[in-house]
Chain A
């Protein structure tokens, strides 16, 4: 190890140290003033974001090829840190209101962000596994954070059991890949795979790996835990994990599959095609029947995992993989902002004891809180993919990339399921604007700011998407 190794993981190191220090400092902060911990953790995230942005354009690999620093990791890390900041901002008032304000909340969130960032940088399957567990274990605890509320405890246990189950598949997949290629480093794997004749062991290993990641990103048929966990977990945690864990999972999936497994792309493409189509269809169709806003957004999150999975389908085709991956990154950004905003509105309306979460509780919101209703309308339009929102631009890039790769039917399924999704997203808008009711919403400064910022980003970036897409394209350039 030398000092150059450390520069490759500088942001991760800073955040880890900060989280450890915060764990100690939190002991001396009185119980009634845990807001200080929140501010300190936000400060740490912001400082790390600064260091990450200063690494734009740097290319390096460290620790004998265990981690890489490149445009892709910088892009994803920046997005993850912004997600962390939004997660802290959403939690600040929420945990106080729900009576679960404890300092560990923010420390666990920081450790989870560390795991996510490491996942984006990992170029060795051992590190991928470690990072996955580092991001998951704090999330298991966070999901059960409202204890002794039964819903939250159940969510925590379900998430834990299914998460551990999926890491079992992941580790066994890594074991088989190790057996087939005699290495866990993804660059060594790709070399070994291109020379060997029989790829059976490698294919089974990659399939098991895909199952492991499938659970993490909530792809059908590995999605059963998602609605229950998203509904039972504290809403601020749900917001963070539905964005952060998804971004990190897709980043690792992208790096591992695109870099290590082009040799078995012909087998994997069909599997990914089916996974993606099934996820879009099941997520959107089941969402129609939901009357609880948290469950509705949970199914919406499954559906969006399907849209993002589309970009993996042509990963073996060298001519189109770069644009499709860039489209995927763009879509992750658009999904992260829209998703955080929508959950922010949900948090504003949520009451104690799980009240205020039914769709009908949103009736009349446009009269009592016009700004909040307008923001929610923007997020719903963005989730459907209608103008003037970033969701539309994201979907255009996505479908264009998929069609360019020659998967027209997949794009057609994507468009049709988007139409289906319009039904339940528009229902939220209809309830807010056309029905009468007396909803009450909490207006907390940080929450309002988060909702306003995400709504503005959702609209403004849709007018100037080129710079973001150019950055995403730059980010993936060196990946292949």
Chain B
């Protein structure tokens, strides 16, 4: 069996990739994908920890996270479509009408 450490290390790497993606990429869709990667990294860690203690708590929690992420997708994509309709762009650097 693969030791649990490997899963945790993989999830940490995925999480860092997600954070860097949010900070570096400027396309709202890619940023959003990176956020999903962060959430899924957390899911992986939760399932891995749950398998160590032989409990279903972790897997149940992951279902909650997946459901909430789906709700966020619904709202997020709607917002991105709205922005695209009025600005013809989803580059976050161009969203600068609010400054002070």
Contact = CB atoms under 8 A, between A and B. Distances in A.
Interface in B53-94: 53, 55, 57-58, 60-61, 64-65, 68, 71-72, 75-76, 79-80, 82-83, 85-87, 92
A150 B86 contact: yes
Contacts, number: 126
A361 B41 CA distance: 49
A48 B79 CA distance: 32
B59 to A, nearest CB: 12
Contacts of B57: 178, 183-184
A148 B100 contact: no
Contacts of B58: 178
Interface string A332-376: 000000000000000000000000000000000000000000000
What bracket does the count of chain A residues touching chain B fall in? Answer: 35 or more
Contacts of A292: 100
Given A168-B18, A175-B45, A153 B79 contact: yes
Interface string B14-29: 0100110010000010
B74 to A, nearest CB: 9
B16 to A, nearest CB: 10
Contacts of A179: 8, 45, 48-49, 52
B39 A154 contact: no
B98 A157 contact: no
B82 A155 contact: no
Contact of A164 (B52, B61, B72, B86): B72
B98 A228 contact: yes
Give the interface SS of chain B, mostly helix, strand, loop or mixed: helix
Give the interface SS of chain A, mostly helix, strand, loop or mixed: helix
Most A CB contacts (10 A, CB to CB) among B32, B35, B64, B79 go to B79
Contacts of A231: 98, 100
Contacts of B82: 144, 147-148, 153, 156
B10 interface: no
A214 interface: no
B62 to A, nearest CB: 9
Interface in A161-180: 161, 164-165, 167-169, 171-172, 174-176, 178-179
Most A CB contacts (10 A, CB to CB) among B28, B58, B82, B98 go to B98
B97 A175 contact: no
B35 A165 contact: yes
Interface string A133-154: 1000100110010011011011
Given A156-B79, A157-B79, A172 B15 contact: yes
Contact of B83 (A153, A178, A183, A295): A153
B87 A150 contact: yes
Most B CB contacts (10 A, CB to CB) among A130, A141, A157 go to A157
Interface in A255-313: 290-292, 295
A130 B98 contact: no
A133 B71 contact: yes
Contact of B92 (A161, A172, A291): A161
Given A148-B85, A184-B61, A161 B35 contact: yes
A148 B86 contact: yes
Contacts of B60: 126
Interface of B: 8, 11, 15, 18-19, 22, 28, 31-32, 35, 38-39, 41-43, 45-46, 48-50, 52-53, 55, 57-58, 60-61, 64-65, 68, 71-72, 75-76, 79-80, 82-83, 85-87, 92, 95, 97-98, 100
Given A172-B45, A175-B45, A178-B49, 15 more contacts: A133-B68, A140-B76, A147-B82, A156-B79, A157-B92, A161-B32, A164-B35, A168-B18, A174-B42, A176-B45, A179-B8, A179-B45, A183-B57, A184-B61, A227-B98
Give 3 nearest A-B pairs by CB, closest first.
A168-B38, A179-B49, A175-B45
Interface of A: 126, 129-130, 133, 137, 140-141, 144, 147-148, 150-151, 153-158, 160-161, 164-165, 167-169, 171-172, 174-176, 178-179, 182-184, 227-228, 231-232, 290-292, 295
